Amino acid sequence: MTLRFDNRTIIITGAGSGLGEVYARLLASRGAAVVIVDLGENAEKVAASIGADGGKAVSVIGSVSDQTTAKAAVDAALSNYGSLDGLINNAGVGWERPFMEDSMEDLRLLMDVHYFGTVNMTRAVWPVMEKAGYGRILNITSANIFGMEGWAGYAAAKAANFSLGRSLALEGRASGIKVNNLAPAALTPMLVDNVKQPEILASVQFAKPELVGPAAAYLVHESVPFTGHTLFSAAGLVADILIGTTQGQTDPDLTIEKVAEFVTGTEMHENLKIQKSTIEQTTEGLVTTK
């Protein structure tokens, strides 16, 4: 069965180049009308190219950190295509730099684009999707959330998107809005221009951006069965990223010394449980202490 996006309109931010462009071209080739949001004229060029190939695309030029850009994207979707069904929060900036060499302005920029850009776009599309009783939102996070030297600010901003997506997935269930996350790894211009560690560049030499597109597209398809999931995709690999807790140990008379003993013991790392929400994790812990 071929998965198509006919009669669906999807906004993709940062789609003037890189992975965002890959997502836009793939979705358009499967019948979606796409709204391409980016800073400069590349957005217009990609939209024109998709149109020349027989697809449906319009462009919106602006920064996702500006709420007016988000409103313009929603207006473009509704005025041109009459619907708004999906959003891929892909726009981002990044660089490799020691944490203490980043200025506060640098760190705020990362949050403004990655996190608050995602917030702006999501808040703009949410009421439309809520009214329609249907929506698909994809937050682009990163494998850097596991920690990576030289990328602390970037990783923190991407981790914010990760947690935002998981929480919104819970809020959107009653309205038919599914929210998932994707952590892609690909040899993109941003990576080539900013990564200084040769072993990292070597590890992604075969990670073509086009191989990430299918996972992103599936996560905004009407048939996606889950919400609140995070997938990792690179070089043709698709895998789940999970949050879990171990069984741990409980003691109603807990002391600092006992904590030291527990966390260094092998028993602490047994019986992994995958958690779907904060409530699930905390209530599980409370049950075991009764």
What is the C-alpha to C-alpha distance for residues 35 and 281, in angstroms, rounded to an integer?
A: 38
Instruction: Outline where the chain has alpha helix (H).
Output: 18-29, 42-52, 67-81, 104-110, 117-132, 152-172, 189-194, 198-203, 213-219, 256-263, 278-289
Helix, strand and coil percent figures for the chain, each rounded to 5: 50, 15, 35
| Rg, the chain, Cα only | 20
3-class state of residue 219 by DSSP: helix
Residue 137, phi-psi category: left (phi > 0), alpha (psi -120 to 50), beta (remainder): beta
Catalytic residue among 23, 81, 134, 154: 154
What is the C-alpha to C-alpha distance for residues 144 and 195, in angstroms, rounded to an integer?
A: 13
Say if CB 38 and CB 17 are below 8 A apart: yes
- In the residue annotation, 23 being an active-site residue is answered as no
Which residues contact residue 244 at a Cβ distance below 8 angstroms, ignoring those fewer than 6 apart?
272, 273, 274, 275
What is the C-alpha to C-alpha distance for residues 8 and 230, in angstroms, rounded to an integer?
A: 23
What is the C-alpha to C-alpha distance for residues 166 and 179, in angstroms, rounded to an integer?
A: 7
Q: Give the other-Cβ count within 10 Å of 168's Cβ.
A: 22
Q: What letter does residue 230 receive in the DSSP assignment?
A: E
What is the C-alpha to C-alpha distance for residues 42 and 185, in angstroms, rounded to an integer?
A: 22
Q: What is the DSSP string of 52-77?
A: HTT-EEEEEES-TTSHHHHHHHHHHH
Catalytic residues: 154
